[in-house]
Amino acid sequence: MGQIADRPDAALAARLDPIVDAALAEGRLAGGVILVARDGAVAYGRAAGQADLETGRAMTRDAIFRASSLTKPIVTAAALSMVEDGTFGLDDPVVRFLPDFRPAWQGETPAIALRHLLTHTAGLSYGFMQPDDGPYLRLGVSDGMDQPGLTFAENLDRISRAGLVFPPGAAWLYSVGMDVLGAAMEQAAGKPLGEVVAERVTRRLGMADTGFAVTDRARLARAYADGPPPRPMGETHVVPFAGLSGIRFAPDRIFDAGSFPSGGAGMACSAPDMLAFLEAVRTGGGGVVSTDTARSMMTNQTGSLPIVTSGPGWGFGFGGAVMLDPAASGSPLPAGAWMWGGVYGHSWFVDPAGGTSFVLMTNTSTEGMSGRLSQELMGAVASWA
């Protein structure tokens, strides 16, 4: 897809710059990159703050970040391209590819389809969505950002032994489903997940800084937890979440080649790469998937199931949530917007009708995902005429 041209909009900058400046001045943000595209050109692009507070290294527009859940839509696109070419089907059972993956529900082992994994309706969970004594914590299930060196086989075994929270298709719950899907993709393709994603998505779109390893450590932003001021994450770090067990980080996991490639949280990415990906989906697939498949990614796939992490008014497509009712949600995003984030400090949305794509990638968890910075920026972009 190549570089997206700049076409700066002064009125948009006047809206966004004070929001970013306040986050920096108040110690809510170490640094970040904000990109807003409309009709195929970058109307706002800013690298703000610092990539490393301790060394004074300035943030740059091509900085690389630990992507956390920005991994999900990219891997989703790779999976859907495999559906298009007949490698597998959305309704294929997971056991076709992972015969030993059989988590139970009330003593039975119901069939989980690949579609369930893609839409977080499989009955799986995340460790950070459970209390300290939850089965994922007891069994040491990785959420894809901790436990460097843990293999696919071992984590799948732990997930399977933990069992299901509900029968497949009965509810929606944010989960390790994308990690299980990544393992199934490897088996179906006969090659590592990183190669699958590179062949089907990142190389086609020129996303040279996106993958399950860091292409240039000199441009990697240091990871921080919320302050103020932002606090550097150590070898392991737990960020509180909703009074549950907390989100577990191991920032150096991405340097350990023995770590399983987490389809839900394991990639590194830059903001220009992420914008190129979102623009490809918005404009019809970018040669990665067909126009119909790209449209399906931005269309609700979960019926009336409540999207518990987002609240009322939302559905879930492939790779992100879909705004169904702005009034019910209380969100400034318009109906039809497709969005998600990442716990290392990121957020994004696409407004297909308005021709707009927004990317915020920061090195500050969770301010960049769900804090004032992300909420105020998204609101300002959504209301930009």
Domains of the chain, with CATH numbers?
10-68+208-233+264-382 (3.40.710.10), 75-199 (3.40.710.10)
Distance CA 307, CA 321 (A): 8
Of the candidates 327, 326, 301, the residue with the CA atom closest to the CA atom of residue 315:
301
Supply the pLDDT for residue 247: 96
Question: Which residues have C-beta within 8 Å of that of residue 159, sequence separation ≥ 6?
Answer: 101, 103, 124, 136, 141, 176, 179, 180
Considering Cα of 118, then 123, then 124, then 126, what sign does the dihedral take? positive
3-state secondary structure 110-179: CCCEHHHHHHCCCCCCCHHHCCCCCHHHHHCCCCCCCCCCCCHHHHHHHHHHHCCCCCCCCCCCCCCHHH
User: 229: cis peptide before it, omega within 30°?
Assistant: yes
Instruction: Tell me which residue of 344, 149, 182 sits closest to 254, measured CA to CA.
Output: 149
Res 242: pLDDT: 87
β strands within the chain, DSSP E: 31-38, 41-52, 57-58, 64-66, 224-225, 231-232, 237-239, 247-249, 268-270, 314-316, 321-323, 338-342, 346-351, 356-362, 364-365
**228 preceded by cis ω (within 30°)?**
yes
Which one, of 320, 380, 313, 316, lies nearest residue 347 by Cα? Answer: 320
Token pair 């707009």: residue: 356
Residue 130 in contact with residue 244, Cβ under 8 Å?
yes
Beta pairing partners, 81: none
β pairing state of 57-58 and 314-316: unpaired
Q: What is the pLDDT of residue 2?
A: 58
Catalytic, out of 69, 160, 262, 357:
69
Q: Is 304 a catalytic site residue?
A: no
pLDDT tens by residue, the chain, 385 residues:
557 999 999 999 999 999 999 999 999 999 999 999 999 999 999 999 999 999 999 999 999 999 999 999 999 999 999 999 999 999 999 999 999 999 999 999 999 999 999 999 999 999 999 999 999 999 999 999 999 999 999 999 999 999 999 999 999 999 999 999 999 999 999 999 999 999 999 999 999 999 999 999 999 999 999 999 999 999 999 999 888 999 999 999 999 999 999 999 999 999 999 999 999 999 999 999 999 999 999 999 999 999 999 999 999 999 999 999 999 999 999 999 999 999 999 999 999 999 999 999 999 999 999 999 999 999 999 999 6
Looking at residue 243, its pLDDT comes to 87
